[in-house]
Amino acid sequence: MKTALSIMLLGCTASTAAMAQDTLTISVYSFAQDEYRAALYKPFEEICGCELVIETGNSVERMAKIEANAAEPVIDMAVISTQDALSLARKDLIAPLDSAKLSNFDKLYQAAQDPIGDHMAVGYTFYASSIVYRSDLVDITSWGDLLGDEVAGQVALPNITGTQGPPTLMMLGKALDHGDDFKPVISTIGEKADDIVTFYSRSSELVQLMNQQEVIAAPVGRFAWSSFKDAGLPFAWAEPAEGQAGGMNVMVMTKNNGNEELAYQFMDYWLSTEVQTKVAEMLVDSPANKEVTVSDEIADNLTYGADVIEALNILDPATILDQREDWVDQWNTEVIR
C-alpha cells in the first residue's frame, strides 16, 4: 500500500525533466527481461550510477508511443526492428548516431554497422527465421510445405502486420516461384485461409498453440526457439531448401531527448563483447559483435557466425515500408475477408 501511495504521489508531482539527470528510459521488447536485468541492466546501473526505466511491449505499441511523445521524448533509446527504425527515421523522430561515441562499433559485423543508412541505427542482434514443426507428425523441407495438405488445418502463419510477416511472404514467394512479387503469394494464402488456424502476432501465443497441438508447423524467429525447446515435445527447426529468412534488431536514439550521453554509454555497453557474450550464452540474443565466441552447444541454438549471417535472406527495410500498406490492403481483402 505504501508503494502504491508513493507511486501515485510520484505521478502527480515529479516531472520527467527533473528526473532526466540520472535516469535513462529505454524501450525494449518484452521478452527475457529477467535475463537482461542480470546481464545488462543491473551491471549498467552500477557502472553509470544511474537508474534505468524500462518500457516494454511489442514494437508497434512502442513505436506509437514514441511518435505520440515526439515533442518531449519520454523514451531516450529504443531497440526495434530495422523497418520500424526506418519508419521512425523517415518521420524525423530519431537522431543519427555518432559512431565515434561507440567504442565497440568496429567490432560489429559489417551488416550491423549501418543497416538503414545515414547512421540512423546500429544492429545489436541477428536472427534467422525458419519453420518450427512437430518432427513426429510432419516433415518440413520447404517453405512451400506450410501450404501443403499435410499440415492443413494445423498450421499458423505470422500476421502481416508483425515483424515476421513480410519475411514469411518472401520465403513463400521463393518456394512458389513468384520471385519478389508478394501479390500472388498473398492470393495463394487467401485461397488456403481456411486451412490456417490463425495469423499469430506474438510468439508466446504460438508456443502455447504448438504445445497444445493446435498447431504443428509455423514460421518463427530463432529468438523464440528456446521456449519451444523447454516444452518436452519433439519440436524441430526446419532447414528449408529455400534457406532461412533473417532479420536484425537495431538500436535507435530518439531526437532531442537531452539524455544523449547516457544513451550512448548504454548502447556502447550493450554492444561490448562482454555483454553480447553474456546475452548470447543465456540464449536470448545472437551476437552482432563478431568478437563474441561461444561454445558449439550454445552456437547451435543461436544465429551465430559469419557464414550463417551472410547466408540469411534479409528483406530490405525500405521495401517493407514502401509496400506494407499495399500488402495489408490485399491481405485484408483476400486473406482475412
Partner 1 sequence: MRHLANWSILGLTLLFLIGPFVIIILAGTSAGNNLAFPPEGMSMKWYLKVFTIESFRTSFALSMALAVFGTLAALVMGIPAAYALNRYDLPGAETVRTIVAAPIIVPGIIIGLALLRYMVVPLDVTVTMALFMAHTALVLPYAVRVVSSSMQNLRVDMEEAAVLLGCSRMQAFTKVVLPNIRSGVLAAFILGFVTSFNQVPVSLFLSGPGVRTLPIDMLAYMEITFDPSIAALSALLAFMSLAIVFIAERLLGFSKYV
Partner 2 sequence: MFRNTREGLALALPAAIFSTLLFILPVGILLSEAFRQGGSWSVQGYIDFFASPLNRTVFLRTLKLGVLVAGSAAIIGYAAAFCIVNLSPKARGRVFGMVVLPLMISPVARTYAWIVILGRTGIVNEAITGLGLSDTPIRLLFTETAVYLGLLQLFLPLMIISLVSAMENIPRDVIPAARVLGASWFAVFFKVILPLTKEGLVIGGTLVFTGALTAYITPAILGGSKVLMLETLLYQRVNVSNDFVSAGVIAMILIVMSFTANLLLKRIATTRS
Which residue has cell 519433439?
234
Q: How far apart (Å, rounded) are the C-alpha atoms in residues 229 and 248? A: 22
Measured from the CB atom, the residue of 172 and 279 that comes closer to partner 1 is 279
Report the partner that residue 198 touches, choosing among partner 1, partner 2, none (CB closer than 5 to 8 A by kind).
partner 2
Report the partner that residue 245 touches, choosing among partner 1, partner 2, none (CB closer than 5 to 8 A by kind).
none
* Min separation Cβ 73 and partner 1, Å: 11
Residue 283: C-alpha distances to residues 150, 197, 218, 298, 308 (Å): 32, 29, 21, 7, 16
Nearest Cα to Cα of residue 221 among 62, 32, 35: 32
Rule CB under 8 A: choose which of 110, 213, 256, 293 binds partner 2.
213
- Kindly state whether residue 56 participates in binding partner 2, applying the rule CB under 8 A: no
Measured from the CB atom, the residue of 82 and 159 that comes closer to partner 2 is 159
The stretch among 134-142, 175-183, 197-205, 217-225 that binds partner 2 (CB under 8 A) is 197-205
Measured from the CB atom, the residue of 8 and 152 that comes closer to partner 1 is 8
Cβ-contact 230, 131 below 8 angstroms: no
- Kindly state whether residue 201 participates in binding partner 2, applying the rule CB under 8 A: yes
- Kindly state whether residue 23 participates in binding partner 2, applying the rule CB under 8 A: no
- Kindly state whether residue 137 participates in binding partner 2, applying the rule CB under 8 A: no
Which residue has cell 548470447?
280
- Kindly state whether residue 67 participates in binding partner 2, applying the rule CB under 8 A: yes
Q: Where are the beta strands (DSSP E) in the chain?
A: 23-28, 51-56, 77-81, 94-95, 122-134, 155-158, 196-200, 217-221, 235-237, 245-254, 286-287, 313-314
Which residue has cell 531516450?
76
Rule CB under 8 A: choose which of 82, 130, 159, 257 binds partner 2.
159
Residue 328: C-alpha distances to residues 171, 178, 337 (Å): 17, 18, 12
Q: Provide the binding-site residues for partner 2, judged by CB under 8 A.
A: 60-61, 64, 67, 153, 159, 161, 193, 196-201, 205, 208-209, 212-214, 332-333, 336-337
